[in-house]
Chains A and B, each alone.
Chain A
Amino acid sequence: MSAPLVSIQDLTVQFHGARRASALNQVSLELGQGEVLGLLGESGSGKSVTLRTLLRLHPERHTRTAGRIRVDGQDVLALRGRELDRYRGGTVSMVFQEPGLAFDPVYTIGQQISEAVRVHEGVDQATAAARALAMLERVQIPQARRRFDAYPHELSGGMRQRAMIALALACKPKLLLADEPTTALDATVQIQILLLLRELQRETGMSVIFVTHDIGAAVEVADRIAVMYAGRIVEQGPVGQLVHQPCHPYTRGLLAATVGHEHRGRPLEAIPGSPPDLAALPPGCSFAPRCSHASERCHRDIPPLEQQGARTLACWHPVRLLGEAA
């Protein structure tokens, strides 16, 4: 792997409105060219904040961002004006969770894709429209010609998400951010969209950061998984290792709480308690209040993120080689 495409160092994001909330705490991540990273965690763990910070989508007046983000050699946090516009959608683009809300309702799908192409590549209307139509065909939208002139509300959820992917890929980004792209869809459509994303990723060789709380989806598309909890990455490693030998108690809890064949007939193990308030994080490990292995040290000191082979882990008492019976 040459120089990483994405390198995030000590990224800290705080929102300050009526209260101050620490959404991300010292997050560091690297992503190589063509790599697919799954960001896994509960709601409020900082997955979407990470993606949105990568595109600088948070309102600047209410957000304090510290740390460094480099994508494709550019210092993302320093981008201004036209540079930022070229970066958004050109170098990095995003597939949103709710395709029904992420399209402008009063322009047709075709108009919106061609507009993005025109803005980024400076081509004329006809060329942009041709590219938009080709993209709709590429994401396997049937009768693409007709869908081109359709308004977002005239398409089904799955169709809209395909169009969203077409829009995101129209300007050949190097990095695709997918923010729970299948959560709002029917189960059958979810699998189709996942397969489509994986296929397009292999064809184009782009890198993908895929945010989800669905472990099945992450395993399906990701090379590597990073588990987030309360604005921190707690464990990170190759998919196989992480799923079969989770070391962090939180990762184990997440896996145990997933419906799977091996659990048939046994009650699901839920993680007791709920995630901490981001405005008042505990002084030590954020997971300690819910963790059955927690010691006094866990409540006092934040465990550092340590490299262990292909994996990084932030835990004082990792669960080692206690692999599942199955």
Chain B
Amino acid sequence: MFAYILKRLIYAIPIALSVTVVSFVLVYLAPGDPLNAIAPADAPEEVIQALKSAYGLDKPVPVQYGLWLMRAVQGDLGLSIASGREVTAEVLSAVSNTLLLAGMAAAIGVVLGCILGALAGYRHGTWIDKAATALSVVGVSIPHYWLGLVLTILFSIWLPWFPAMGAGPGGSGEWLWDLEHLRYLVLPALTLSVIPMGIITRTVRALVADMLGQEFVTALRARGLSGGAVFRHVAKNTAPTVLAVAGLQIGYLMGGSILVETVFAWPGTGFLLNTAIFQRDIPLLQGTILVLCMFFVVLNLLVDILQPLIDPRMGRS
């Protein structure tokens, strides 16, 4: 088991390295000049040269990448061009907000998805199954920024139950675990949870329905196990696949919330990315993309490590 984890960790290194290359280079493929954002269009040549060397933009791209990577490894992602603040600090504060939102959305989505999926799988072909399937199709296909707007109209304007903007009273100060702050989390988390909920419902439904038709479940019943005990067996058999799908979905939530965070003015990574793109803030953009990509690498690593712990058929060979 230890050797397996070590192997996975070693495999993760080249993946992480290529991620740094892509997140660095991709930004240069986009049109536009970062200096446009800080220097006026008619700035004299010397000023532009001075700015270029100040940000290291006068060196060849591979050299820039090397320097950037060396500092990134030490946790220094440079300074934001627009705000002048440290990118690392900006990204980390945004990451904690996004983690909060994504974590809550994932919890809602995974829990509801598993419950709905299991119900639909057990009641295969009945109206419960059809209702759950319809709900999941709607959940996957609905554009979530639109859903966010509709929820805002319903529960923030017509029924003033939940606030529609920000991550706490008085804008976006320090997050606190109290009722006042949690009210700000409800609408964005609900909006974001709809896609993972739909996908997990469908996955669990298909797995459970398939599992219940298998000979070993009949054999479990033939042994006199109660419905609950049989369900424990079914759950443990479906867990590895559900875990893999859920892991991927949580990954998407980490970075895929640009639109929802913008709709609800939630100060997370999506909101930050949006700002960085519009301001051509290259260090901020690179830093944010890098951190988001690293999330995927780490999540996949976790799923790879957890799966064989549940399913003995994986990993041992």
Tell me the A residues contacting B by CB distance below 8 Å: 52, 55, 57, 82, 85-90, 93-94, 96, 98, 101-108, 115-116, 119-120, 151, 153, 167, 171
Contact = CB atoms under 8 A, between A and B. Distances in A.
B222 A106 contact: no
A98 B223 contact: no
16 contacts: A52-B218, A85-B224, A85-B225, A86-B224, A89-B224, A93-B222, A98-B215, A101-B216, A102-B216, A102-B218, A102-B219, A106-B236, A107-B236, A116-B225, A119-B224, A153-B313
A103 B216 contact: yes
Nearest to A87: B224
A115 B233 CA distance: 11
Contacts of B221: 55, 57, 88
B224 A116 contact: yes
B214 interface: yes
B25 interface: no
B237 interface: yes
B93 to A, nearest CB: 42
Given A89-B225, A96-B219, A115-B225, 15 more contacts: A55-B221, A85-B225, A88-B221, A88-B222, A88-B223, A88-B224, A94-B219, A96-B215, A101-B214, A102-B219, A104-B220, A106-B310, A116-B225, A120-B224, A153-B313
B229 interface: yes
Nearest to A152: B216
A257 B226 CA distance: 44
Contact of B216 (A52, A90, A104, A151): A104
B215 A85 contact: no
Contact of A57 (B216, B222, B229, B236): B222
Contacts of B237: 104-106
A120 B220 CA distance: 13
Interface in B202-240: 214-216, 218-226, 229, 233, 236-237
A256 B312 CA distance: 47
Query: Which 5 pairs show the lowest CB-CB distances between chains A and B?
Result: A89-B224, A101-B215, A88-B224, A102-B219, A89-B223
B310 to A, nearest CB: 7
Contacts of A107: 233, 236
A90 B220 CA distance: 13
Contacts of B86: none
Contacts of A120: 224
A110 B214 CA distance: 21
Contacts of A82: 226
B311 interface: yes
Contacts of A115: 223, 225, 229
Interface of B: 214-216, 218-226, 229, 233, 236-237, 310-313
Contact of B223 (A52, A93, A105, A108): A93
A103 B222 contact: no
A151 to B, nearest CB: 5
Contacts of B225: 85, 89, 115-116, 119
Contacts of B215: 96, 98, 101-102
Contacts of B229: 115, 119
Q: For B216, B224, B236, which residue has the most chain A Cβ atoms within 10 angstroms?
A: B224
The listed residue with most A CB atoms (<10 A of its CB), out of B214, B216, B226, is: B216
Contact of A103 (B219, B224, B310, B313): B219
Nearest to A177: B222
Nearest to A116: B223
Contact of B313 (A85, A105, A108): A105
Contacts of A57: 218, 221-222
B110 to A, nearest CB: 20
A120 B223 CA distance: 9
A86 B226 CA distance: 9
A52 B226 CA distance: 17
Contacts of B224: 85-90, 116, 119-120, 171
A139 to B, nearest CB: 16
Among A89, A94, A103, A106, residue most surrounded by chain B Cβ atoms (within 10 Å): A106
Given A57-B218, A106-B236, A85 B226 contact: yes
Contacts of A104: 216, 220, 233, 236-237
Contacts of A96: 215, 219, 222
Contacts of A93: 222-223
Contacts of A108: 312
Contact of A151 (B214, B223, B233, B312): B312
B124 to A, nearest CB: 10
Q: Which residue, of B215, B219, B221, B312, has the highest number of chain A Cβ atoms within 10 A? A: B219
B128 to A, nearest CB: 13
Contacts of A55: 221-222
B71 to A, nearest CB: 46
Given A106-B237, A106-B310, A119-B229, A89 B222 contact: yes
Contact of A106 (B219, B220, B226, B311): B311
Nearest to A96: B219
Counting chain A CB atoms within 10 Å of each CB, which of B216, B219, B222, B225 scores highest? Answer: B222
A105 B238 CA distance: 11
A85 B220 CA distance: 11
A167 B220 CA distance: 11
A13 to B, nearest CB: 16
